[in-house]
Every structure is written in C-alpha cells, then in structure tokens.
C-alpha cells in the first residue's frame, strides 16, 4: 500500500472515531431533551445555552470520579468488563459506510474505513462480543442485582441475536452480498423496506432487544434491579458502559437505514457529497423513533420477553426467509 | 411457572450438582419500594418463593406523640401519615375528635371539607398511578400525573395556604372560608382534568405490554380481600361493594350522587381501572359540592371550641379569656372512647381516641390502610416473578408514612 493510502486510512479512522464519540455524547443530550419535550419538562438547560455543554460536563464529572471496586469483586474482570462492552461497539463502525464518496484534494475518498465482503457478519459478531462485557460486569460485581442483570442480559441477547440475524437474511438474499456498500447500492431505486416490510419490523424489534432499549430494557430495569449489571460501576468504567450502549443504538439505527431504508440513496437526484446527510437524516429518524418508544411503552417481564423472542419473532423470521426465497424463485 | 420450578429443582441423579434459593434484600433503599420499605425476598432464579415485608423504617411514634399534644396540635402530625393526601387525614382526624366531643361542623364546613378531600383523593391516585406506571416502565405517565398534581397543589395553596401539609381542619369546622376566586380556580380544574385522565388511559388502558404486566396477576379474590381486611380501591377492585362514603355516610356525602366503581377479578389491572374511575367520580363530587355550597358559617359558633375573632379579644373580657384558654389549653373533650373511620384514598383510615376529659387524647390509635395492604402483599407475589413484585407493590398503593406511623 502506498504512503498516501496509509495516511488516508489512518485519518479516516481518527475522524470516524471522533464523529462517533461526539454523536454518542450528544445523543444522550438529545434523548434527554426529546423525552423532556414528550413529558412536559424542560430537560437539561443549566450547562451552556440550552444545556448544549451538558455532555462536556458529564464527561468531566465521570472522568474525575473514582472507580470504586467492591470488596470481594473479581477485580480484573470487573475492570476489564466495560472495555469489552465498549470496544466492539466502536469496532463495528470500521465497516459501516457513512456515505458514498467525496472528492477532496483531487482524490476520490470512499466514506468508509474499510469495505470487507462480510461486513454484516462482522457487525453481528461484534455485537455478540459486547454481551460478554455486560455479563462479566454483572457477574464480577459480587452483587445480586448486578448478577441478575447480567443473566437477564445474556439470555435476552442470545435469543434476540438469532432473530436479528434471521431478519436480515431476506435483505442479503435480495442484494446477494454481505458487503454493506453492495447492499446499499442494490437499493439505488427502491429501498428494501418495500420488499421486506416484515424483515424490517423484525429487525427493529430484535435490535431494540439486542441493545437493551425500552420496552426490552430488562437488564437494567431500574425499579427491579436498581441499575442492573452496572449497579456497582462508577466513574469512567460506568461511562464506558453508557457510551457502549448509546454507540450500539447509533449502530443499529445506521444498519437499519443501510439495510432497509436505502442508505444514502434518495428518490430525487442529489450530488454524491450530500450522501452522508441523507443517511444521517434516516438514522436520526430511526433514533427519534427509538426515543419515542422509550417515552411511550412500559417494560416486558422477563418470561414474556423470552416467550416473545422464541415463540413469535423467530418463527416469523424463518417464515419470512421462506417466503422471500419462494418469491425469488418464482419471479426469476 | 411450574416448568421453571421443575427445571431449577435439584437434579438428584447427578451428585454434586444442585441449585439453591437465595435471599434478595430489596430495600430499604431501593428505587421502587415507595419510601423506606424493605422486602426480604427468597428467590429461586427470578421466581419469588417467599416475601417478607419489613416495616418500621419511618416509625415516628405518632400514637405516643398524640398523648402529649392537644387535639389541634396533633393535626400537623396527621399530615405526615399519608403525605399524599394530607387534607383527607386532617379531616378524618377532626371528624373523630368532633365525634368524641359530640359536635358536628356546619354544613358549609362539611362541603369545603368534601371538596378538599376529593381533591386529595385525585392527587393521591395520580401519584399512585404515576409511580406505579414508572415501576412497570412507562415513564411518561409519571411526569404527566405530576403535572396535574402541581395544579392540585396550587389549588391547595389557594385554599389552605400550604401546598402539601395543609393542616386545614379545625375542631368544629375548617380554618378558612372558600371564596369565589378559589371556586373559579377549582372549576377550571374540573374542566381541565377529564382530558388528562383520558390521556393516561390512552397510554395504558389498551397497551399490550401494560395488559401483559397487569392482567391476571396479583389476584385477590373477594373472600381473600375481605379476610385480609383490605379496604378502599384494593377491596373494591375485587368486586366487594364497600365504600364508607356510601355505607356510613359522613360529612356531606349523602347529598351527592356518585358511583362506586367495582372491579371483577381483583387483579392488578382492576385496581388500575378502579382508581382511574374513582378520579372521575371525585370530579363529579367536587362539582356537585361547589354547585350546592350552602351559605353560612364555616366553623361552629361555640366559644369553648372555636377561636373568637381577633378584634373582639381587644374589647371583650370573655372573648379574651376564651382565646387564652383555647390557645393555651386546647379544646377539651369529655371522657370516653370513640372510633371513626373515613374512606381515605388508600382505604379505610380510622382513628380510635380515648379521651380522659382533658384537651389531649389519653390514647390514640391509627388504623392505617397501607399497613393492611402491605401485609397482604406476600399473598399475591409469592410464586410470581421478580418483576411482578414491583407491579403488585405499585398496585396496592402504599405509603410508608402511614404504614409505620
């Protein structure tokens, strides 16, 4: 590889890293503000104009706080678990394209760090590793609430990961590729949500369960488990869980937009340098929907959640694959 | 549930492999125990084997304090019983004292008390519903109910001068009269509130997840509810038609036309619907009380019981003496014992007072509905999941201030 390509890749890594962390930090503020608006409150408005510096204040607070390790906790695992949760969440962005391409300094720059041919599998694999962080954190805390949160989380994520994987198979069959760039380019005229409405709904439900969002936020259900798996965490270790969780929200919303909503393609002609904007708008719409859901719905009970995952989502996902295959064979 | 049990039970064929239950200490510092309740839970996985409520973290020796306070001095303590409906506690307590003395407040005072009590009922049910929905995960309902509670607190501030701890009842009447400004504000509230109740229903009543978390769970049969001496909405949700406002009318409830909502199965969902409907009926009662507000005094005309006007004490010897005696000694009650109970938002709040001829109680006992309700909690949570505990706890609507006294 030539030197300028190296520079390009490293720069892209740095830029993507900062973009993601900034988005995640501000997503916390956005969620609090949107929820506040839905609940006739004001939301954070003390730090900076309209509370815009709140993420900075949170960061300073969390970084300066002590990481308390409980007595009798498994110290090494306890300190490692949040890292295991955050790093895979960020790694997923290495294969997520943020747009098509832009021309800068006379070069055509692709708006993704790398485009591997099994990108989607890579993302699913990364999200599976994230479960270890949550379960190990809950297990090593030496706290019954944390342990229960960890157990709930691993059971929930394993069962919903299956449905999530099954729900995107329809898209893969239509696009004929695991590469996210190929999948997006296959939707240049019609987004896959038109062909795969059931797949989209299944994906969305499974994704919300996968990242522990309401109504599936059982691992950290405050009224039952205090704070779930991160009950004993404080300071930066807690912040890692927190960032990982919101990074996952952005990830699944981006994947949803890329797989089903046509990515950066819009029905009208638009210059390619605007492609990140279209994608961002679609992702923002999905994130808003997730926040809206949180403001509306109560929480499932653990056994109801498992029953829903195994008895409803999985069979429907399998049926969806079957029908997709059948239609593809008949049409061709 | 039985499948889960058999799955978790020890496997005898494999030596060394066994499962055991564990104890979870839920509270007294826990987000959903509504104050300082401690629940000792024996758990098998997520299933509750045994539940032991442990109370007393908010014990303030109220009954003992009552023996050293005059009847009026004890009024602020009743505020701090069920601190979500202080107005109703004051009134129930004063009705008991009046019964001991053998007097009855004038009609206008009874109407004012009724208005305040029903406002307190709505306020209490709103908080109960909000925190309960929050425990089940629907956080928006919590903030919406608190918005409406602010409106009610504003009304209480206009009426009594205090937003929360009203201490408004007096022996033989109320502390102040109601004027047209307050009446207008309350009427505005009556017009504003029904839509808001519909909003809560929109969010919850037909919500699949809410139904899944409440229907068929935490059932008190009518016999069980009666045997556990449940009262109030908890009893009526089981289909037992027992409302002290109707059964033993007090204050001015005979004059009003209202329905007593009843549940059918006695599950958590029924307790929810009963409370929602009770709020609507309370609005009806308030409207009738305002429409039919009689003219006349708001305190009885008895110089031994009610304070004279301040300006009269400057020129009249008798008035000055009466003022001095009431302030220094309090209102004396004849010897005897009396029990009176009223339909508080949480259930039957009863005061048992033994008088010895002085101006304070020889003995005072409080029958608090929350105490009874929390005692009934293990009946409905044992054998259920951990998540059902918080839903059931919210549904019996307890407040620890009243529980521990």
Number of domains in chain A: 1
Question: What pLDDT score does B153 carry?
Answer: 92
pLDDT tens digit sequence for A52-81: 888 888 888 888 888 888 888 788 888 888
Question: How much is the average pLDDT of A180-185?
Answer: 82
Nearest residue to B364 (alpha-carbon basis) of B89, B96, B95: B96
Minimum CA–CA partner of B46 in chain A: A148
Question: How much is the average pLDDT of B153-163?
Answer: 90
Nearest residue to A47 (alpha-carbon basis) of A59, A63, A35: A59
A303–B207 C-beta distance less than 8 A: no
CA-to-CA dists, residue B159 to A133, B82, B178, angstroms: 56, 20, 7
Least confident of A213-222, A293-302, B19-28, B368-377: A213-222
Residue of A33, A224, A295 for testing the chain B interface, max B β-carbons within 10 Å: A224
What distance in Å separates the CA atoms of residue A121 and residue A130, rounded to the nearest whole number?
14
For residue A324 the two structure tokens come to: 């997709």
Distance from CA of B287 to the nearest CA of A (A): 27
Tell me: pLDDT of B3 over 50: no
What distance in Å separates the CA atoms of residue B78 and residue B93, rounded to the nearest whole number?
7
**Residue-range definition of the domain harbouring residue A207:** 3-331
B387–A221 C-beta distance less than 8 A: yes
A223–B135 C-beta distance less than 8 A: yes
Query: What residues contact residue A252 under an 8 Å CB cut-off, 6+ apart?
Result: A207, A208, A210, A211
- CATH number, domain of B227, equals 1.10.645.10
| Cβ–Cβ < 8 Å for B368, B80 | no
Question: How much is the average pLDDT of A31-47?
Answer: 86
Distance from CA of B87 to the nearest CA of A (A): 27
Tell me: pLDDT of B32 over 50: yes
Question: What pLDDT score does A307 carry?
Answer: 86
Distance from CA of B205 to the nearest CA of A (A): 12
pLDDT tens digit sequence for B233-289: 989 988 888 888 888 888 888 888 888 888 888 888 999 999 999 999 999 999 999
- Give domain status of residue B201, yes or no: yes
H-only helix segments in A168-265: 169-175, 180-185, 197-210, 222-225, 235-260
| Cβ–Cβ < 8 Å for A174, A324 | yes
**Residue-range definition of the domain harbouring residue B323:** 62-367
Label residue B13 by pLDDT band (50, 70, 90).
low
- Give domain status of residue B222, yes or no: yes
| Cβ–Cβ < 8 Å for B333, B359 | yes
B389–A296 C-beta distance less than 8 A: no
Number of domains in chain B: 1
Query: What residues contact residue B214 under an 8 Å CB cut-off, 6+ apart?
Result: B136, B267, B268, B269, B272, B391, B395
**Mean residue pLDDT across chain A:** 83
**Mean residue pLDDT across chain B:** 86
Could you list the beta-strand ranges (E) of B45-128.
47-54
Q: For residue A304, give the nearest of B4, B136, B212 by CB distance.
A: B212
Minimum CA–CA partner of A214 in chain B: B137
Minimum CA–CA partner of A144 in chain B: B24
Write out chain A residues lying below 8 Å of B138, CB-based: 296-299
Question: How much is the average pLDDT of B356-373?
Answer: 89
Please work out, in degrees rounded to the nearest 5, the angle formed at the alpha carbon of residue B310 by the alpha carbons of B308 and B315: 90
Instruction: Give the rounded distance of the alpha carbon of A59 from its chain centre.
Output: 21
What residues of chain B have any CB closer than 8 angstroms to a CB in chain A? 4, 22, 24, 30-32, 46, 133-140, 142-144, 147, 203-204, 207, 209-210, 212-213, 385-390
Peptide bond into B28 cis (omega under 30): yes
Query: What residues contact residue B74 under an 8 Å CB cut-off, 6+ apart?
Result: B65, B66, B93, B360, B361, B364
Three-state secondary-structure class, residue B31: coil
Q: For residue B209, give the nearest of A222, A297, A302 by CB distance.
A: A297
Minimum CA–CA partner of B33 in chain A: A223
Tell me: pLDDT of B10 over 60: no
Question: What pLDDT score does B359 carry?
Answer: 86
Tell me: pLDDT of A26 over 70: yes
Question: What pLDDT score does B152 carry?
Answer: 92
For residue A16 the two structure tokens come to: 């993507």
pTM: 0.83
Q: For residue B213, give the nearest of A41, A217, A298 by CB distance.
A: A298
Write out chain A residues lying below 8 Å of B136, CB-based: 223, 298-299
Question: How much is the average pLDDT of B71-98?
Answer: 89
Q: For residue B140, give the nearest of A38, A217, A222 by CB distance.
A: A38
Distance from CA of A35 to the nearest CA of B (A): 8
Question: What pLDDT score does B6 carry?
Answer: 47
- Give domain status of residue B116, yes or no: yes
Label residue B339 by pLDDT band (50, 70, 90).
very high
Could you list the beta-strand ranges (E) of A71-171.
101-104, 107-110
Number of helical (H) and strand (E) elements in chain B, helices listed first: 17, 8
Write out chain A residues lying below 8 Å of B30, CB-based: 226
Question: What pLDDT score does B1 carry?
Answer: 40
pLDDT tens digit sequence for A224-253: 777 777 888 888 888 888 888 888 888 889
Q: For residue A298, give the nearest of B31, B210, B385 by CB distance.
A: B210
Question: What pLDDT score does A222 carry?
Answer: 64
pLDDT tens digit sequence for B198-238: 888 888 888 888 888 888 888 888 888 889 888 889 899 88
For residue A276 the two structure tokens come to: 């990140």
pLDDT tens digit sequence for B302-337: 878 888 888 878 888 888 888 888 888 888 888 989
B387–A301 C-beta distance less than 8 A: yes
């Amino acid at each position: 590889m030539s030197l300028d390509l190296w520079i390009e890749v490293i720069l892209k890594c740095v830029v993507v890293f900062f973009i993601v962390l900034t988005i995640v930090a501000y997503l916390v503020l956005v969620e609090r503000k949107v929820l506040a608006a839905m609940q006739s409150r004001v939301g954070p408005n003390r730090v900076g104009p309209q509370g815009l510096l709140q993420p900075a204040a949170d960061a300073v607070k969390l970084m300066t706080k002590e990481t308390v390790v409980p007595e009798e906790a498994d110290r090494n695992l306890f300190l490692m678990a949040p890292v295991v949760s955050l790093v895979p969440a960020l790694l997923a962005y290495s294969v997520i394209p943020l747009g098509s391409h832009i021309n800068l300094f006379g070069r055509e720059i692709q708006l993704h760090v790398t485009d591997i041919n099994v990108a989607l599998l890579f993302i699913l694999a990364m999200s599976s590793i994230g479960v270890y962080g949550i379960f190990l954190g809950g297990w090593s805390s030496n706290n019954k609430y944390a342990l229960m949160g960890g157990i709930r989380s691993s059971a929930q994520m394993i069962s919903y990961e299956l449905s999530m994987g099954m729900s995107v198979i329809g898209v893969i069959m239509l696009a004929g590729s695991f590469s996210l760039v190929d999948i997006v380019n296959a939707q240049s005229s019609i987004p896959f949500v038109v062909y795969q409405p059931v797949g989209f709904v299944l994906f969305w439900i499974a994704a919300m369960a996968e990242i522990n969002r309401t109504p599936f936020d059982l691992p950290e259900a405050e009224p039952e488990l205090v704070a779930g798996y991160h009950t004993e965490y404080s300071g930066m270790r807690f912040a890692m869980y927190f960032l990982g969780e919101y990074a996952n929200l952005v990830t699944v919303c981006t994947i949803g937009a890329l797989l089903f909503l046509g990515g950066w393609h819009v029905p009208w002609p638009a210059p390619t340098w605007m492609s990140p904007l279209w994608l961002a708008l679609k992702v923002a719409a999905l994130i808003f929907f997730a926040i809206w859901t949180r403001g509306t719905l109560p929480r499932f009970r653990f056994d109801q959640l498992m029953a829903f995952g195994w008895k409803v989502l999985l069979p429907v996902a399998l049926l969806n694959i079957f029908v997709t295959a059948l239609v593809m064979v008949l049409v061709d | 549930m039985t499948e889960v049990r058999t799955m978790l039970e020890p496997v005898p064929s494999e030596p060394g492999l066994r499962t055991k239950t564990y104890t979870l200490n839920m509270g007294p510092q826990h987000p959903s125990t509504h104050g300082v309740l401690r629940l000792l839970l024996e758990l098998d996985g997520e299933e509750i084997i045994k539940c032991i409520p442990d109370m007393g973290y908010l014990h303030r020796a109220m009954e003992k304090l009552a023996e050293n306070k005059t009847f009026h001095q004890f009024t602020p303590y009743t505020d701090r019983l069920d601190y979500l409906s202080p107005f109703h506690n004051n009134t129930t307590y004063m009705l008991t004292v009046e019964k001991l003395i053998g007097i009855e407040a004038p009609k206008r005072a009874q109407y004012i008390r009724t208005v305040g009590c029903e406002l307190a009922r709505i306020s209490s049910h709103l908080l109960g519903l909000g925190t309960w929905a929050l425990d089940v995960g629907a956080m928006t309902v919590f903030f919406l109910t608190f918005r409406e509670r602010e409106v009610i607190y504003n009304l209480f501030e206009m009426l009594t001068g205090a937003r929360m701890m009203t201490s408004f009842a007096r022996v033989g009447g109320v502390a102040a009269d109601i004027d047209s400004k307050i009446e207008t504000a309350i009427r505005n509230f009556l017009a504003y509130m029904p839509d808001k109740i519909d909003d809560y229903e929109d969010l919850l009543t037909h919500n699949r997840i809410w139904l899944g978390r409440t229907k068929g769970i935490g059932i008190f049969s009518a016999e069980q509810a009666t045997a556990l001496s449940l009262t109030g909405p908890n009893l009526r949700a089981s289909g037992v038609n027992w409302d002290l406002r109707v059964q033993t009318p007090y204050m001015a409830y005979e004059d009003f036309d209202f329905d007593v909502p009843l549940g059918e199965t006695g599950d958590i969902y029924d307790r929810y619907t009963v409370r929602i409907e009770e709020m609507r009926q309370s609005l009806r009662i308030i409207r009738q009380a305002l429409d039919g507000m009689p003219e006349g005094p708001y305190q009885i005309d008895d110089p031994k019981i009610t304070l004279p006007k301040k300006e009269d004490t400057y020129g009249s010897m008798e008035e000055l003496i009466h003022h001095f005696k009431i302030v220094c000694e309090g209102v004396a009650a004849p010897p005897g014992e009396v029990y009176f109970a009223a339909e508080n938002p949480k259930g039957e709040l009863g005061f048992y007072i033994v008088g010895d001829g002085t101006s304070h109680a020889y003995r005072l006992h409080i029958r608090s509905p929350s105490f009874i309700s929390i005692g009934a909690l293990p009946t409905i949570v044992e054998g259920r999941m951990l998540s059902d505990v918080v839903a059931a706890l919210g549904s019996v609507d307890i407040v620890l201030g009243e529980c521990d006294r």
